Amino acid sequence: MLVDSYDRVVDYLRVSVTERCNFRCQYCMPEKPFSWVPKENLLSFEELFEFMKIAIDEGVNKIRITGGEPLLREGLDKFIEMIYKYEPSVDLAMTTNAFLLKGSAQKLKDAGLKRINVSIDTLKPEIAKQIAQKDVLKNVLEGVDEALKVGLKVKVNMVPMKTVNANEITEVLEYCKERNMSIRFIEYMENSFASKDIKGLKSKELLEILSAKYEFSDDGFDGSSPSHYYTMKDGYRFGIIEPYEDDFCKKCNRIRLTAEGNLIPCLYFDEALSISKAIKAGDIKAAAQVLKEVIRTKPEKNRWGGDDAEISSRAFYETGG
């Protein structure tokens, strides 16, 4: 079992398979980065899988594939199949913008993927175009339909932003409810790569909007999920991710691996240790040692909130959110 210095059990690994993306979301990667990680620095799927085995053997039971946009990396289904065959009980999930999902959902499901999270910030084509800087909505919605059709469980992530999509919060919630998909509203997390003019909605403002239309109860937190849950009168449940709240990190159970092999203990901070050299040399012991060191140095909490609040200098497209 992996336990950090604050007695938190770490059993969840998020793996970014590429930092590249086919969208340019205003809150994440509004401009193409000055340079991408050179292809030769990326870990191959076989190398990433070597690390997945170490992590699973040490107690990781949930793996989420993310990016950048994970569907841009060829052979993803084979990577999923490797993990699934090694340990079928691992909760295998992916976060995607769904643009390329229509043609790949069945293949991913057959490979062993169980669940996906899709980012849907709007149901208006022109607003989607404004956020992603590309005409994306039709493909995204078709991708979601296809995922549901092939039997993948789908959760939706929405980042509510003032003057952009705040007036669509109930519409997106209804869209999810009609399709039996849960929704999580993610507070915009300030980072130095995002467009400067974004103003995210805090959970209090979001709840004000929702309570004008719905009655719901506050369920608090559930297990190690970072979501604050609420249940509506008809039983539909929605979540809010509130990284600015003081106790947000109390039950954090996750670490992140980038496509070039940097193991990151906290989404907010720049600190990371590389597993690349150890994995490329086939030194399992050394890679496991790096994993344990990253767990040992996992910070107590982020610095988005509190008196010494600062924006993060870590790119979301690198860590996978």
Please, are residues 318 and 193 in contact by the beta-carbon 8 Å criterion? no
Sequence-distant (≥ 6) Cβ neighbours of residue 18 within 8 angstroms = 42, 67, 68, 69, 70, 72, 73, 259
| Residue 99 binding ligand SAM, by CB under 6 A | no
Residues 210-249 that bind ligand SAM (CB under 6 A): none
- Site mask, ligand SF4, residues 44-73, x = CB under 6 A? -----------------------xxx----
Nearer to ligand SF4, 10 or 120 (CB): 120
CA of 129: how far to CAs of 97, 124, 242, in Å? 13, 9, 26
Q: Which does 186 bind (CB under 5 to 8 A by kind): ligand SF4, ligand SAM, none?
A: ligand SAM
- Partners of residue 229 on adjacent β-strands: 220, 239
Helix (H) or strand (E) holding 53: helix 45-58
Using rule CB under 6 A, residue 97 touches ligand SAM:
yes
Q: Are 64 and 95 in contact (CB under 8 A)?
A: yes
Q: How far apart are CA 287 and CA 293, in angstroms?
A: 10
185 binding ligand SF4? (CB under 6 A): no
Rule CB under 6 A: is residue 96 a binding residue for ligand SAM? yes
Among the listed ranges 53-61, 95-103, 173-181, 211-219, the one in contact with ligand SAM (CB under 6 A) is 95-103
Between 191 and 253, name the residue whose CB sits nearer to ligand SF4. 191
The structure tokens listed for 160 are: 């509510």
Site residues (CB under 6 A) for ligand SAM?
21, 27-28, 66-67, 69, 95-97, 119, 157, 159, 186, 188-189, 191, 194, 316-317, 320-321
